[in-house]
Structure 1
């Protein structure tokens, strides 16, 4: 059951968290936090998302705040470093924020950049992490099949762990997977799962070797676990650039997966210049425990009155959609 809107509004806090480095076009991450019987939860669909999509994120937040979650199978989650589409010369500074991480996810296919920029960035990561480090790339669907094939060949000497969402569509992923199969580089699907009308289509089409799952966009932990079970593919839990509260939900999802073969993309607190709690990786992992925001941090990061009004209006619209 969806709780009354008044119950959510009673504890709702809208915050604006500054980033260390521009990421996904975001310099300041906004989120709405609220507390339910089970603890704090986060509602933070990106501002450009329409209400129908954002309502799924609200469903996830309500579930985490009001419902008991699956029993955890582990208390700490190994995580990867995340390298935005920065100049290769800045890679060392970025990696230094991710204490003890043995894996790095490197953003590629950024608008306004060239493949040469991607190659330089990934090679800088490889040089700094050494041969034992694990490197995965994430194109966010930014290449067509030919571009993706060319890029993967150009990065062939970097020993990639996998390529995440190199192309936008399931058909493109399937074609690319066929083309690069001989290279032994797995293809991971992210947007083709979390933004798809049918999140299982990518598995049914044999278009990916593994899937990336996120608690908020998929509607909560239980639904995400169901998708993993039905897909029958290894899963990597990642964040949606969440604050510490949202990362705790992602960590709870990772903690309840029967198998966790890959380091998770839940170390993104290190991309923030501030937060409502400290969720940065320590020795390459984060806690799977719930997070309670620090009162002083909530006050320090409080959004402006106009942004608070915008988020509360969005909350009300999405709440109405869930009730409908």
Structure 2
């Protein structure tokens, strides 16, 4: 693959953005931003990801910084609200940050919480959206098959659109789908981690493990790669599709929006409104939902905000060293170049 050069060091920025609520076990979201010839790109794989996996995220960031995305087919993209594992009493306040959104994704299976917490939270979301809203739950692989069957049997009464990554691996996703059907529980299964952390993102569809596939620009290696995967999923496999994000800054979200806007027939609200979960951003015009949509277009980082949210010197070094390693890996043919077709 043709791997672009990295921008010079003074055009590489590392930020640490506060979150409004603990999400995915963190309260600060770190990201490295690349100021390239075509615009801004983001490199923000989670800290626990190894270099091989993180290199795919760098491929996406370099694509944004050095190349141009496909022409959009629409000027805005519908998005869902994202509800962290908050208490039921706090749900209304979270939903208020997503004005006009008629779909909500609700985090469940949070460590330290139980099914009663999930039921209360989902009930509060259903009440907030009303009977015509769409409710998704996301367990991030936190249940085993038995736990997922019990939980989804209980949650099904709230009319779920789907359950995202209820169990951790592809084989268990397939087993769960069989058991849900046998039990008469009508909850479609969506795959997220099983796609974005797989060498072959299409394997989950081939295994009959999901009704819906969640695709994200950064883990797949860029907008172009996501559109390729989406085309195959639509043409060869009987699965739905949702474009989502990985708690990106608005720079990273813009790439996801570009991908969703280039799809010929998006049928589900995208998980691209998560700037509403951030307590700060890198642009004066963050991609926040308005009337349930976010606009399509490039995002430019602001110098003052980059300075305000600059990471500590120690974290700056950590990210820049990671950047160099992942770039070398891409140049050697690893990372994104190894994703299956």
Matched with 2:339 is: none
After TM superposition, give the deviation of residue 35 of structure 1 in Å. Answer: 1.5
SS at match of 2:14: strand
Q: TM-score when scaled to structure 1?
A: 0.97
**Match of residue 198 from structure 1:** 200
Deviation of the 1:184 alpha carbon: 2.9
Q: In the alignment, what sits opposite 1:309?
A: 317
Match of 1:165 in 2: 165
1:186-217 deviation digits (Å, cap 9, x = unpaired): 11110111101221111111111110011001
How far is the alpha carbon of 1:96 from its aligned partner? 1.1
Q: Deviations over 1:26-52 (max 9, x none)?
A: 111010111222110100001111111
Q: Report the count of equivalent residues.
A: 323
* Match of residue 188 from structure 1: 190
What value does the CA root-mean-square deviation take over the aligned residues?
1.1
The alpha carbon displacement at 1:180 in A equals: 2.0
Matched, 1:294 2:302: yes
Q: What secondary structure sits across from 2:71 in the alignment?
A: coil
The TM-score normalised by the length of structure 2 is: 0.92
CA distance in 2, matches of 1:8, 1:318: 16
Find the aligned partners of 1:195 and 1:259 in 2 and give their Cα distance. 25
Structure-2 residue corresponding to 1:264: 270
The Cα offsets for residues 82-129 of structure 1, whole Å up to 9 and x where unpaired, read as: 001111111111111111111110000111111111011100111111
CA distance in 1 between partners of 2:62 and 2:5 (Å):
11
Give SS of 2:97's match: coil
Corresponding residue to 2:254 among 248, 259, 277? 248
SS in 1 for 2:27: strand
Matched residue SS, 1:40: strand
1:1-324 aligned at under 5 Å gives the runs 1-5=2-6, 7-181=7-181, 182-232=184-234, 233-277=239-283, 278-324=286-332
Partner of 1:121, secondary structure, is helix
SS of the residue corresponding to residue 140 of structure 1 reads coil
Instruction: Structure 2: give runs of 5+ residues left out of the alignment.
Output: 333-341
Distance 1:226 1:34 in 2: 24
Match of 2:336 in 1: none
Query: What is the CA–CA distance in structure 1 between the aligned matches of 2:305 and 2:5, rounded to whole Å?
Result: 27
**Which digits, 9 at most, give the CA deviation of each residue in 1:142-185, with x for residues without a partner?**
11111111111101210101110111111111111122234332
Structure 2 CA distance for aligned equivalents of residues 191 and 8 of structure 1: 33
Post-superposition CA distance 1:4-45 (Å, at most 9, x none): 33x353410111100000100111101011122211010000
**Range 181-190 or range 220-229, more displaced:** 181-190
State whether residues 156 and 186 of structure 2, in contact with CA within 8 Å, keep that contact through their aligned partners in structure 1: no
Tell me if structure 2 keeps the 8 A contact 1:275–1:297: yes
Tell me if the contact between 1:79 and 1:266 (Cα under 8 Å) persists in the aligned partners. yes
What is the SS of the residue equivalent to 2:319?
helix
CA distance in 1, matches of 2:37, 2:220: 22
Measured after TM superposition, the shift of residue 64 of structure 1 is 1.4
Structure 1 runs, 4 residues or longer, greater than 6 Å off: none
Inter-partner Cα distance in structure 1 for 2:210 and 2:95: 28
Q: 1:245 deviation in Å?
A: 0.3
